[in-house]
Chain A
Amino acid sequence: KAGVTQTPRYLIKTRGQQVTLSCSPISGHRSVSWYQQTPGQGLQFLFEYFSETQRNKGNFPGRFSGRQFSNSRSEMNVSTLELGDSALYLCASSDSQETQYFGPGTRLLVL
């Protein structure tokens, strides 16, 4: 099976802009989780989607949002970008067994 894919891999934006990141899970996986990784805060949970429904959300501002489509692909959106949003954004897919497999990530730089 193909692994988790994320696009784009690298992104440079300026403050105030918005960005949309995409994640395609492993075939057959219905759960997609998103994480932000920074050197200072480590890996932090953003939200999780299952069958197009957000089931869980981390402690991030409302500027961070996401959605999931009927084919389980997921997108996350960050509006009004801030310098502190520069990070590696990771998505992970899971079947019903909880084990999560990560994609390669999208590295976002906000200038």
Chain B
Amino acid sequence: QKEVEQNSGPLSVPEGAIASLNCTYSDRGSQSFFWYRQYSGKSPELIMFIYSNGDKEDGRFTAQLNKASQYVSLLIRDSQPSDSATYLCAVITAGGTSYGKLTFGQGTILTVHP
């Protein structure tokens, strides 16, 4: 079982729709969760981080965390063509061996079509 798994995609949504990206993780000790966006040929760009159960909203983005189910998601409202990118879920586990180590999922390719 992979440590961090994302819905395989690719995901295609029409402009203005809600895009839902999902991620599960295997280490129950995981404490910190991040969503990055990566455009083709570019480096990952931080969108959001979440530490506590529940929802966290930032503009059109909402991150949701459920530690009991070991599940984290990212919702993008009013999707725009400029949101077309690969979305990466990343996790930091607790403990000394976690220093500076983000464990990434394989990424979900999102395409928003006009």
Contact = CB atoms under 8 A, between A and B. Distances in A.
Contact of A55 (B34, B99, B105, B107): B99
Contacts of A58: 101
B43 A98 contact: no
B100 A99 contact: no
Given A43-B44, A90-B44, A99-B34, A31 B100 contact: yes
Contacts of B103: 45
Contacts of A98: 32, 49, 92
A45 B91 CA distance: 12
A65 interface: no
A45 B99 contact: no
B102 A45 contact: yes
A43 B97 contact: no
A102 B100 contact: no
A37 to B, nearest CB: 9
Given A42-B107, A48-B99, A50-B100, A101 B42 contact: no
Contacts, number: 60
B101 A33 contact: yes
B44 A56 contact: no
A35 B90 CA distance: 13
B92 A102 contact: no
B102 A33 contact: yes
A33 B98 CA distance: 11
Most buried by B among A43, A44, A45: A43
Nearest to B106: A42
For the complex of A and B, 6 pairs with smallest distance between CB atoms: A48-B100, A55-B99, A33-B100, A43-B104, A56-B99, A102-B43
25 contacts: A33-B100, A42-B105, A43-B44, A43-B90, A43-B102, A45-B100, A45-B102, A55-B99, A55-B100, A56-B101, A58-B101, A92-B102, A98-B32, A98-B49, A98-B92, A100-B46, A100-B100, A101-B46, A102-B36, A102-B43, A102-B46, A103-B43, A104-B42, A104-B43, A105-B43
Interface of A: 31-33, 35, 42-45, 48-50, 55-56, 58, 88, 90, 92, 94, 98-105
